[in-house]
Amino acid sequence: MSTFLHRVAHWAFRRRRTVVLVWVAALAAVFLGAANSSEAPEDSASLPGIESQQAFDLLDERFPGTEADGAQARVVFVAADGQQVTSTANRSAVDTLVDEVADGPQVAGATSPFDAHAVSEDASTAYATITYRTTADDLTEASKEALTEAVEHARDAGLTVEVGGSALETEPAQGIGEVLGILVAAAVLLITFGSLAAAGLPLLTAVLGVGISLATITALGSALGFSSTVGELAMMLGLAVGIDYSLFVVSRYREERAKGHRAQEAAALAVGTAGSAVVFAGLTVVIALLGLSVVGVPTLTKMGIGSAGTVLVGVLIALTAVPALLGFWPDAVLPRRDREDPRRTRSRRPGRFGRNRIRNWTWNRQVTTPAGTARTPWGVRWARFVTRRPVAVLLLTVVGLGALAVPSLNLRMGMPGAESKPTTTTERRAYDALADGFGPGFNGPLTVVVDVRGADDPAAAVTGVSDRLADIEGIVSVSPPHFNEAKDTAVVSAVPSTGPAGEQTQDLVRTIRDERPAIESATGAEFQVTGTTALNIDVGRKMQDALVPYLAVVVGLAFLLLMVVFRSILVPVKAALGFLLSVGAALGAIVTVFQEGHGAGVFGVEETGPIMSTMPIFLVGIVFGLAMDYQVFLVSRIREAHIHGEQPGQAVVTGFRHSAQVVGAAALIMMAVFGGFMTGGESMVKMVGFGLASAVFFDAFVVRMAFVPAVLALLGKRAWWLPGRLDRLLPRVDVEGEALTRRAPAPDHASGDDDRRESVTV
């Protein structure tokens, strides 16, 4: 692997103009394809294999001409203090709104609250239900404007009017996540490298990779069903890994130049060593993302595929575009003191040649300095501290992360709805008004689809099902049935006594389904429970059931890959255990803030509730891949020092000397990118940003910087043990670049015969 990548980097350095032109041409081609592509589809709510989806499919079949997931608006009317909505003036305003909306385009029906008995007991609140023949995504502006104008007319009459449902769903406020992430990344890179060029090159290549990936996703969106959400996740990951992968190559290039290698050879050695780690780190991310397909949710599968493609583009750019750009500016990424050194100035005058050789030889000698005058890197000091006290550090790390993970045992999964939106939105105000006037369950009614094809008396069968449902504890009311034209299917709405995100509502749905066999036997009708509330419950259960198989697939494949990379059994085991600790701590932090509400105000979270159903899967998949990045980059340097003859403890110190600062910078960049998404107005986006940022922090600064060196120090040489038979079976990939060390030319301290095409005079 290392020798192949070494040759690739040599070629890219020599043919740098060709390489850059190819990448620019690729960017132009995909942007042209994106500009001429059809509009990307919206996120599909189809979730095969769950009861809610089966009921939706039955509704589409038995109620032709309407969509089960069609847009709906619930217009809530609240009378002024001391008044009632049933008063003559207020009733007239409500009826006028219903009549105006009923004649609007795409409207399937508009039900007055006075006809549907949708008035609260104290007559202070009422609601009208507006249904549309199409989904919310396909609603025209004319339909939305007609509803908005009718609402304004009712408000002018003196009523407080708010609109819930999907018809006028408010777009979340856009944050400055991408910009903030890039700015923080630039600052971290500048501090780490001390060079504008070295800081700018990873940013440039990351933006190039994200641009190509997003344009490709857009161009293929219609054909492959890639929605805008696929692009959002791809952008978030593309920025993070794109910067990190280029960062590691540039850092190794600077290291090789400091050893005295010429620019072309330094670039080739950097790609052959750090580039090998990039390849396998990228593969672990790709495995984690493609593993989302085992969950069985089409949307997650597409998001995994799109993001995996973005990571692959980032790997290819790090291996080809980075050495090509280094060929144009070989000295610009070096520290200023190195660029200004006399040995960097090329001259063909014979009189200067000898003097340059003397200067170069002197500059690269090891100079002995008095004790204490040279500042020891913080990574070395920390590694020495950990290797001297491995047991204490290991116990403190495990206990600390374990304590943070304890709240995750109370994890409740669901899909936050209008209750999680800011109070500035009309959906949130409509939610609160309904809860105050009718009880929290009115915001999450259960839709029961009754199939009476096999019943002798369909009407009596549906009535029997409704009566049995009304007798179940936790059901407040059951609406009159609505039959289709064939009279073989009916829909009833059951209102729970608790809110849609409540744990009692989940128990109620489970109770209804548990009592279904007895109800069906007594009535002769079959029924299924669906609706937004039941759908969210089913999705959460599906995600929870898929978590263990997903972990098994991802961790199993990554274990095999890491075993090949490090030629060890215990190192991959350590990596998996450390990952579980960091993910557990991150989940605990999410539950603490977004479910239990501790510190929620700091992050702008106005309402707590269940954790988004897809969050644990996302966290496991994405963070596992990113965590393995740090594992490969850090431990490969430790193994490199070990196979070159250093003792285990010293190898840990050497590995930290070369990689701790870069890994820390990479983690800060990822945290900035993920944390920047918390500036948006959507609670779910804040949750994703917070979860990923905290997981990266725990994994990079606690697990990799404390847990890993402590375990390696305790294991000693046993950490690199591999049975002989397995050692012969596994392929050798040489991530550490051992073959390059044996064959690489010695550093050239003489500059008189240097190839001027490889560098420039500064």
pLDDT of residue 174 exceeding 70? no
pLDDT tens sequence across 362-409? 333 333 444 444 567 778 888 899 999 999 999 999 999 999 999 988
pLDDT of residue 712 exceeding 50? yes
**Nearest of 588, 257, 240 to residue 403 by alpha carbon:** 588
For residue 20, what are its two tokens? 């850059």
What is the per-residue pLDDT for 514?
A: 92
Q: Which of 150-159, 305-314, 547-556, 620-629 has the lowest mean pLDDT?
A: 620-629
Query: Could you tell me which residue, 482 or 168, shows the higher pLDDT?
Result: 482
Q: Which amino acid is at 446?
A: L
Q: Which of 133-137, 546-550, 731-735 has the lowest mean pLDDT?
A: 731-735
What is the per-residue pLDDT for 725?
A: 83
What is the per-residue pLDDT for 79?
A: 92
The residue-averaged pLDDT of 673-682 equals 70
Query: Could you tell me which residue, 221 or 95, shows the higher pLDDT?
Result: 95
Question: For residue 560, what are the contacts with CB-CB under 8 A and spacing of at least 6?
Answer: none
527 with 519: CB under 8 angstroms?
yes
The residue-averaged pLDDT of 493-498 equals 88
What's the mean pLDDT when you consider all of the chain?
A: 81
What is the per-residue pLDDT for 516?
A: 92
With 0-12 / 13-18 / 19 or more C-beta atoms within 10 angstroms meaning exposed / middle / buried, residue 530 is buried
What is the per-residue pLDDT for 658?
A: 80
687 with 665: CB under 8 angstroms?
no
The residue-averaged pLDDT of 447-472 equals 90
Query: Could you tell me which residue, 60 or 748, shows the higher pLDDT?
Result: 60
pLDDT of residue 534 exceeding 60? yes
What is the per-residue pLDDT for 359?
A: 35
The residue-averaged pLDDT of 566-586 equals 87
pLDDT of residue 574 exceeding 60? yes
pLDDT of residue 319 exceeding 50? yes
pLDDT of residue 604 exceeding 90? no
Percent of the chain with pLDDT over 70: 85
**Nearest of 514, 487, 472, 686 to residue 600 by alpha carbon:** 686
pLDDT of residue 155 exceeding 80? yes
Alpha carbons within 13 A on the beta-carbon side of 488: 8
**Nearest of 205, 200, 271 to residue 241 by alpha carbon:** 205
What is the per-residue pLDDT for 745?
A: 57
For residue 721, what are its two tokens? 């043990």
| Number of other residues whose CB lies within 10 A of the CB of residue 688 | 25
The residue-averaged pLDDT of 205-222 equals 87
Chain CA centroid to CA 360, Å: 49
For residue 288, what are its two tokens? 């984690």
With 0-12 / 13-18 / 19 or more C-beta atoms within 10 angstroms meaning exposed / middle / buried, residue 293 is middle
The gap between the terminal CA atoms of the chain, to the nearest Å, is: 34
Question: For residue 187, what are the contacts with CB-CB under 8 A and spacing of at least 6?
Answer: none
Q: Which of 333-347, 594-608, 654-668 has the lowest mean pLDDT?
A: 333-347
For residue 159, what are its two tokens? 């009523």
The residue-averaged pLDDT of 636-657 equals 85
| Phi then psi dihedrals of residue 78, to 5 deg | -125, 125
What is the per-residue pLDDT for 556?
A: 82
Q: Which of 502-516, 543-557, 738-752 has the lowest mean pLDDT?
A: 738-752
